Amino acid sequence: MKKLLLAALIVVGVGYAIWNQPHESVAVVADVQKPEVGFVAPHFTLTGLDNQTYKVEGKRNKPVMVNFWASWCGPCRMEAPDLQKIYEKYGGQVDLYGVNVTSNDSPEAAMAFVQSYKLTFPIPMDVAGTVSNRYLVQAFPTTYLIDTNGVIRKKIIGMIDASTLELELRKLLSEKPAS
């Protein structure tokens, strides 16, 4: 009887140990680059209006907000001042890339837009449209919030009001990334 009880306890103990092993979260399992929440953000390198190089490619020191826009887009015009305020407030804690989808715009119109709204955050230029295609951008603006592991935490299609964007950004900044 003692041997049977001991065997049962061992089986239960082993089962419990296997069941309670740490399970990887979707973010850790998702090594696949896909423009959806829980997946690694598609990697890209673009040159900005300032001729600097901007990258999204996996792990980084700060989270990044990637906002796809075009100068002719009405909601983008409405959102631009809020993005500038967010950048001024959180620029030390998060990178903000305002990716101009130049394949649907022009460099001149993008520059005029940036000057008109006095935007000081980086403006990478997606001249060929390859990055917006990889991110499956179908509407302007479209914004992605990406954590320090390069995982997309939020996808926002269309304009978002300043208070909601700030709330989402605070959530992103308060998350403890999986290692």
Please tell me which residue in 73, 94, 99, 137 is annotated as part of the active site.
Answer: 73
Catalytic residue status for 73: yes
b vs e for 50-65, b when ≥16 Cβ sit within 10 Å of the residue's Cβ? eeeebebeeeeeebbb
136, 128 in Cβ contact below 8 A?
no
Catalytic residue status for 76: yes
Between CA 74 and CA 111 the distance in angstroms is: 16
Question: For helices 74-90 and 107-116, what crossing angle results, to 10°?
Answer: 60
Please tell me which residue in 56, 76, 114, 146 is annotated as part of the active site.
Answer: 76
Closest to 148 in 3D by CA, of 122, 169, 119, 177: 177
CA atoms within 13 Å, Cβ hemisphere of 165 = 27
The three-state DSSP-derived secondary structure of 105-126 is: CCHHHHHHHHHHCCCCCCCEEC
- Which residues are part of the catalytic machinery? 73, 76
